[in-house]
Structure 1
Amino acid sequence: MSMRYGIVILPQDRWADGRRKWVEAEQLGFDHAFTYDHLSWRSLAGEPWGSTIVTLTAAAVVTERIRLGTFVSSPNFRHPVPFAKDVASLDDVSGGRFTLGFGSGGTGFDAFVLGQQALSARQRHERFAEFVELLDALLRFEAPDARAGETRGADVEPPYGISFDGTWYTAHEARMVGRAAQQPRVPLVLAANGPKGLGLVAQFGQGWVTTGAEGATGEEWWRSVESLSGRLDDAAEAAGRDPGSIDRYLSVDSGGQYALQSVGAFEEIVGRASGAGFTDVITHWPRADGIYAGSEDVLSEVASRFVRS
């Protein structure tokens, strides 16, 4: 399988400016375009930051081919029931082009902005697992045809719906309004590095995404990436699943590097990602300054030499 290329466009521009980037990402030939799903992010917390779902919906309207997604959503400020409606509606608007990247949630700005208490790594995983389980059920649920008295897709009693009573989330006879374009549901690309998280990928994920070991750089980071990919193989086999059935996304702007610093850097990084078994690489649209600072000329040359080939 040839490498697929993704680009992250941060939701910082007014739409009059942001629209150009989403349209151009498709014209440049990228396979998918993502945006972060945060209330804000790290060093950019004092800068403008738009709504993820609104931005992706607008992008869906002005594009036709490119897949769109979150990189990544989390439970930090979302509940599975309303979020499932957002996901299904966005997939419908995009004509079945939405991919949901989802993770356990970091410990940065949006972990506490609503007044939440700090969670341990174990608590964050348990919350993540509950969210994914309920979200999966909601996105797969096929509402019954009340006129025919049918209950297709769920073993439930009238008035029909999904009920869930967990430690972190509850739902009472929740129903979807409308349906996603992709069936049986929108594909999930789950972010995970630990053994429990990788087990969740093997159970629910059509794909896996990683930024490598936190804090690692250079060769140490590449070794972590290769090791994690091998651990995913083990998790898939333990779950009775073909490891090759899981798409593998690598954020190539992690580990102290920015892939679009030059055409040569991009070529080398993508080659190493391919050698480590990754099917998809994700880089970031160059910003004028600060993190991911770079040149759109490099982006265009990379697209012409690699993405469109």
Structure 2
Amino acid sequence: MRAGIVILTEDRWWSGEPKWRNAEEFGFDHAWTYDHLSWRSLADGPWFSALPTLTAAAMVTEVIQLGTFVATPNYRHPVPFMRELITLDDISDGRLLLGLGAGVSEGGAGDRAILGETDWQPRELAERFEEFVEALDGALIKDNYSFDGTYFRMSGSRNLPGSVQQPRMPFAIAANGPRSLRVAARYGQGWITTGWPSDDNEQWWRGVAELSERFDRALDDADRDPARVRRYLSLDAGPVYSLSSVDTFTDAAQRARKLGFTDIVVHWPRATDPYCGREAVLERIAEEVLAEVQEL
């Protein structure tokens, strides 16, 4: 099992840089950041852009994979986004993981509200996302690519020199609903789930198990080999913060592995909610149990 950590883009670089360095030194396999214009309860505080932050992180790390958790079509068009991704994949020497999502969460709704676009319905969000992923996949893989959709269009989009990872960087697609699960099964080299919202920990884990079974069926319908698609579980989407203690983290990792997840993702502890915790616990996890969890 691989382990990853999310580092929010709320710190000036002099303060944020050590976290990215430490994520690699601690032994995490991947490090992520949110791709939003602002985010939930932190909207009134400092917030920096995801892709420049990941580019800076690539310059101070060597082996850890770097990713968006997750990028959405709420304020992006596939063509300029494709160019930014190819650039970031080049600068990181092929370490980019592209997390993609429909933007149906509260964070996505906040992005749309900032842009004055508040009337998108769930069906339209799902349709836009499906079209966005198809168009982005084509633009990254094929040079001189054209696409004529309902929401996105491009004509003769050039992608030279292409990404370092071929045919493109891996897509890790966040999906809980039926339509997005089909998109993940068709285009994803990875699937990300947050489970269904619940204040009851056991109920949340039951929901995660049910979603995993639904993704199995989506893979079968898409004629995809399950062994070729990684499964990422965002542990902190549940009601218990995964870094509350060493035992909490270890138990959550073991439960995720039993459900077939290949990857878990936690969040760097903050002084206040959300993800309120102590860096001392993170350091203990890195020193005492992270290597054991990765051997699960």
Task: Tell me whether the two structures share a fold, i.e. TM-score over 0.5.
Answer: yes
Give me the whole-angstrom Cα distance separating, in 2, the residues matched to 1:246 and 1:58: 28
1:302 equivalent in structure 2: 285
Secondary structure of residue in 2 paired with 1:68: strand
- Which amino acid letter does the alignment assign opposite residue 281 of structure 1? I
Task: Report the alpha carbon displacement of residue 240 of structure 1 after superposing the two structures with TM.
Answer: 1.1
Q: TM-score, normalising length from structure 2?
A: 0.95
Q: Which consecutive residues of structure 1, in runs of 5 or more, have no partner in the other structure?
A: 144-160
1:76 equivalent in structure 2: 74
Task: Report the alpha carbon displacement of residue 246 of structure 1 after superposing the two structures with TM.
Answer: 1.1
Give me the whole-angstrom Cα distance separating, in 2, the residues matched to 1:216 and 1:88: 40
- Which amino acid letter does the alignment assign opposite residue 129 of structure 1? E
Give me the whole-angstrom Cα distance separating, in 2, the residues matched to 1:215 and 1:48: 29
Give me the whole-angstrom Cα distance separating, in 2, the residues matched to 1:216 and 1:122: 27
1:181 equivalent in structure 2: 164
Task: Report the alpha carbon displacement of residue 223 of structure 1 after superposing the two structures with TM.
Answer: 0.6
Task: Report the alpha carbon displacement of residue 130 of structure 1 after superposing the two structures with TM.
Answer: 0.5
Residues 141 and 162, structure 2, Cα contact 8 Å, conserved in 1: no
1:120 equivalent in structure 2: 121
Secondary structure of residue in 2 paired with 1:109: helix
Give me the whole-angstrom Cα distance separating, in 2, the residues matched to 1:118 and 1:258: 33
- Is it true that 1:20 corresponds to 2:21 in the alignment? no
- Which amino acid letter does the alignment assign opposite residue 266 of structure 1? F
1:150 equivalent in structure 2: none
Identity score, percent? 51
- Is it true that 1:43 corresponds to 2:26 in the alignment? no
Residues 42 and 108, structure 1, Cα contact 8 Å, conserved in 2: no
Give me the whole-angstrom Cα distance separating, in 1, the residues matched to 2:89 and 2:200: 36
- Which amino acid letter does the alignment assign opposite residue 185 of structure 2? A
2:200 equivalent in structure 1: 217
- Which amino acid letter does the alignment assign opposite residue 232 of structure 2? Y
Residues 109 and 118, structure 2, Cα contact 8 Å, conserved in 1: no
Task: Give the root-mean-square deviation of aligned CA atoms.
Answer: 1.1
Name the CA shift for 1:17/1:278 in 2 (closer, same or farther; >3 Å).
same
Name the CA shift for 1:230/1:82 in 2 (closer, same or farther; >3 Å).
same
Residues 76 and 105, structure 1, Cα contact 8 Å, conserved in 2: yes
1:89 equivalent in structure 2: 87
**Residue by residue, what CA displacement relative to the aligned partner does 1:135-163 show, whole Å, maximum 9, x if unpaired?**
0001102x4xxxxxxxxxxxxxxxxx211
Task: Report the alpha carbon displacement of residue 177 of structure 1 after superposing the two structures with TM.
Answer: 4.1
Q: TM-score, normalising length from structure 1?
A: 0.91
Task: Report the alpha carbon displacement of residue 117 of structure 1 after superposing the two structures with TM.
Answer: 3.4
Based on CA coordinates, which of the two structures has the bigger radius of gyration? 1
> Which among 206, 217, 237 is matched to residue 189 of structure 2?
206
Q: Which consecutive residues of structure 2, in runs of 5 or more, have no partner in the other structure?
A: none
Give me the whole-angstrom Cα distance separating, in 1, the residues matched to 2:38 and 2:198: 21
- Which amino acid letter does the alignment assign opposite residue 232 of structure 1? F
Task: Report the alpha carbon displacement of residue 95 of structure 1 after superposing the two structures with TM.
Answer: 0.4
- Which amino acid letter does the alignment assign opposite residue 263 of structure 2? D
